[in-house]
């Protein structure tokens, strides 16, 4: 008897966050027999945690906005390492994806005129984030979930994919195990879309849920796909840092969008000191101008608290280093100067989060915040239009895919990313499935993979997988954090090798049913692939750019590094890291990113 249950599909989507759900809805709508496999219950994926909003140039609140400004902001924020074609598609298609969600039931906050309201966020020239208070991610995932259940998609909840298979050099199947029973399932399929999110759980202080162990990226890597830009880890500047048990939980950038200011332990509003030349022309240089901007004066420039995340995170770190940090090594974020009722209405989750977890009333006192590992700009290399990876029949969308965000992601661009490229991945995966016959089921290979997955049970007295995971998280935090040097990165690589041998001795005990320890022992394999790729890429990129800062190469080097991606791929049993040229920018794209803001803005009455 076979040790797994077989299933047959046209398209299998791995992951049920925003990207996975949007993909599955599209694939199913285009006639593909579609399954969605997710590690948690439906509707619990990390998208639920996205707070601030989804960026889309609807121009509802400021008629100067349009797709070109959004495109320009995204590429400047990404320090021009973005795949320009992805950034263009994203900026052009995001508005329609947001409006479509509204027709599917999402209830966005309204502007005075009754249209979808938009708020300010770091790096966006104009108010651009469609939002629902500070629970936009919940609204989006719930809308997609409710749409999805009426779309003829089969949902396999609390299933974990452990292996991808190829036949005739293209995708043919994946093997998953069912958490509730510990049974295995083989999904024979023509196309697989990975939408598995990020890698936050490889870091000690992070804002991510348990699922963020880089599964999709590691599965793709093992199947022969390229990983790209893995060195770019976004540290969100404002995570909670007190009490210790909540360290890392996100404080939405919406706080700064609504007027929150950052201060050091001397009470100084320090961001004015950290305005980089790239953004100097578009950023206020006095408190007076910043205040006028917040009051809606269109001639005033944005406050420096709304610089991009990499800039703000580095500024906080610099203040701490200079001895001006908050008592627990961060900074103070203060929104208490605004009307308490306004704060409660616009930031209800933040109000409750601080009240209940830290005993702090944010309408009366400042929050203490510090950088937390939040997002991975790097990931699986994909084709801009189709979202297909370098493995035929294998697609990727959302955080696990690379390219759109370059060296640093703007807040709000991830929710629109997953909608735009989720839809595209679903469309092209369905098309691929139609054009390609099924390949032969990989039964003997699957049997071997089942045995491999069950291996930890052979060592009931083996090392505790949670301990190994914790060691990895500490290693990454200490040696591959916000600021890096060659020596530390090399130390990290040695430690990762040690952890690999420890991982081979990870043990599981008890039975297979809902066994979290067993699951943790399987996750380690993925996390180690991620850790190695991040570290090797960080070592390769000998410059500082966006979220990647090298203490030994502090300058941004436009002569060499502006034009290459760092690509990691499996060669035999080893990971190789190579530099490959960025796709060549079109003349039009070049013109837009080098234009002055006023020259690409819609001049007058430009609302569509």
Give the residue numbers annotated as catalytic, written as ranges: 236, 256
Q: Whose Cβ is closer to other proteins: residue 505's or residue 515's?
A: 515
Task: Give Cα 353 to chain centroid, integer Å.
Answer: 22
Place of tokens 């399929």: 189
**Sheet containing 261-263, strands listed edge to edge, beginning at the edge strand earlier in sequence:** 233-240, 367-376, 331-334, 261-263
- Side-chain-side CA neighbours of residue 144 (13 Å): 32
Peptide bond into 243 cis (omega under 30): yes
Q: Tell me phi and psi for residue 298, to 5 degrees.
A: -75, -10
Least Å distance between CB 187 and other proteins? Answer: 20
Q: Whose Cβ is closer to other proteins: residue 398's or residue 406's?
A: 398
Per CB under 8 A, residues contacting other proteins are 40-46, 48-49, 58, 96, 99, 102-105, 107, 109-110, 113-117, 132-133, 135, 138-139, 142, 146-147, 149-150, 157, 180, 209-211, 242-246, 249-250, 349, 352-353, 356-358, 464-467, 470, 508-511, 513-518, 520, 608
For 17-52, the three-class secondary structure string (H helix, E strand, C coil) is: CHHHHHHHHHHHHCCCCEEEEECCCCCCCHHHHCCC
Least Å distance between CB 310 and other proteins? Answer: 23
Decide: 153 and 25 in contact? Cβ < 8 Å: yes
Q: Whose Cβ is closer to other proteins: residue 274's or residue 466's?
A: 466
b/e sequence 258-291, b meaning 16+ C-beta within 10 Å: bbbbbbbeeeebbbbebbeebbeebbbeeeebbe
Helices (H) and strands (E) in the chain, counts: 18, 20
- Ramachandran bin of 182, using left for φ above 0, alpha for ψ from -120 to 50, beta for the remaining angles: left
Least Å distance between CB 249 and other proteins? Answer: 5
Least Å distance between CB 255 and other proteins? Answer: 15
Q: Is 156 helix (H, G, I), strand (E, B) or coil?
A: strand
Least Å distance between CB 520 and other proteins? Answer: 7
Helix 67-77 to helix 587-594 angle, to the nearest 10 degrees? 80
Least Å distance between CB 19 and other proteins? Answer: 16
* DSSP one-letter code for 594: H
Q: Tell me phi and psi for residue 477, to 5 degrees.
A: -65, -40
Least Å distance between CB 472 and other proteins? Answer: 14
Most distant CA pair in the chain, distance: 75
Instruction: Give all strands (DSSP E) within 70-142, no chain letters.
Output: 118-119, 129-130
Helix (H) or strand (E) holding 369: strand 367-376
Q: Whose Cβ is closer to other proteins: residue 141's or residue 307's?
A: 141
Q: Whose Cβ is closer to other proteins: residue 138's or residue 589's?
A: 138
Least Å distance between CB 113 and other proteins? Answer: 8
Q: Whose Cβ is closer to other proteins: residue 43's or residue 412's?
A: 43
- Other C-beta atoms within 10 Å of 466: how many? 14
Least Å distance between CB 517 and other proteins? Answer: 3
Q: Whose Cβ is closer to other proteins: residue 353's or residue 577's?
A: 353
* DSSP one-letter code for 199: -
Decide: 250 and 49 in contact? Cβ < 8 Å: yes
Distances (CA, A) of 324 to 187, 360, 368: 55, 22, 13
Decide: 398 and 365 in contact? Cβ < 8 Å: no
């Amino acid at each position: 008897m076979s040790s797994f249950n077989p299933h047959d599909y046209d398209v299998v989507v791995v992951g049920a966050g925003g990207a996975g759900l949007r993909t599955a809805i599209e694939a199913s709508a285009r006639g593909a027999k579609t399954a969605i496999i997710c590690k948690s219950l439906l509707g619990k994926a990390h998208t639920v945690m996205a707070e601030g909003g989804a960026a889309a140039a609807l121009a509802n609140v400021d008629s100067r906005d349009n797709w070109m400004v959004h495109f320009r902001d995204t590429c400047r924020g990404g320090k021009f390492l973005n795949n320009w074609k992805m950034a263009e598609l994203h900026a052009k298609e995001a508005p329609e994806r947001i409006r479509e969600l509204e027709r599917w039931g999402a209830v966005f906050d309204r502007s005075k005129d009754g249209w979808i309201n938009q708020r300010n966020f770091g790096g966006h020239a104009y108010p651009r984030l469609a939002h629902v208070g500070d629970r936009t991610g919940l609204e989006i995932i719930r809308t997609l979930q409710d749409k999805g259940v009426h779309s003829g998609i089969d949902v396999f909840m609390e299933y974990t994919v452990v292996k991808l298979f190829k036949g005739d050099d293209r995708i043919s199947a994946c093997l998953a195990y069912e958490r509730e029973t510990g049974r295995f399932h083989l999904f024979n399929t023509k196309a697989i879309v990975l939408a598995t999110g990020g890698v936050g759980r490889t870091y000690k202080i992070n804002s991510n849920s348990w699922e963020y162990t880089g599964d999709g990226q590691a599965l793709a890597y093992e199947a022969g796909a390229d990983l790209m830009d893995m060195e770019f880890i976004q540290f969100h500047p404002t995570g909670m840092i007190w009490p210790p048990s909540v360290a890392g939980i996100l404080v939405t950038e919406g706080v700064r969008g609504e007027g929150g200011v950052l201060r050091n332990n001397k009470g100084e509003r320090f961001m004015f000191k950290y305005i980089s030349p790239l953004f100097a022309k578009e950023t206020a240089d006095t408190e007076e101008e910043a205040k006028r901007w917040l009051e809606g004066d269109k001639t005033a420039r944005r406050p420096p608290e709304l610089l991009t995340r990499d800039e703000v995170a580095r500024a906080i770190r610099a203040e701490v280093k200079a001895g001006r940090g908050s008592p627990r090594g961060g900074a103070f974020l203060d929104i208490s100067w605004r009307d308490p009722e306004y704060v409660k209405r616009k930031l209800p989750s933040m109000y409750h989060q601080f009240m209940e977890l830290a005993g702090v009333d944010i309408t009366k006192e400042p929050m203490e915040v510090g950088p937390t590992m939040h997002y991975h700009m790097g990931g699986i290399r994909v084709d801009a239009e189709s979202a297909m990876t370098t493995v035929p029949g294998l697609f990727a969308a959302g955080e696990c895919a690379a390219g759109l965000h370059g060296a640093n992601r703007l807040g709000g661009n991830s929710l629109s990313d997953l909608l735009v490229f989720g839809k595209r991945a679903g469309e092209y995966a369905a098309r691929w499935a139609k054009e390609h016959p099924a390949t032969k089921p990989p039964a003997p290979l699957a049997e071997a993979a089942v045995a491999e997955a069950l291996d930890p049970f052979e060592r009931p007295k083996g090392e505790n997988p949670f301990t190994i995971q914790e060691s990895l998280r500490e290693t990454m935090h200490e040696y591959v954090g916000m600021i890096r040097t060659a020596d530390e990165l090399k130390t990290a690589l040695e430690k990762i090798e040690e952890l690999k041998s420890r991982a081979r001795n990870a043990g599981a005990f008890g039975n297979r049913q809902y066994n979290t320890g067993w699951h943790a022992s399987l996750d380690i394999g993925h996390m180690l692939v991620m850790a190695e790729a991040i570290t090797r890429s960080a070592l390769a990129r000998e410059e500082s750019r966006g979220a990647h800062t090298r203490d030994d190469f502090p300058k941004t080097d436009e002569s060499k590094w502006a034009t290459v991606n760092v690509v990691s791929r499996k060669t035999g049993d080893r990971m190789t890291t190579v530099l490959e040229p960025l796709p060549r920018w079109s003349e039009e794209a070049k013109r837009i990113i080098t234009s002055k803001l006023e020259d690409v803005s819609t001049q007058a009455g430009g609302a569509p």
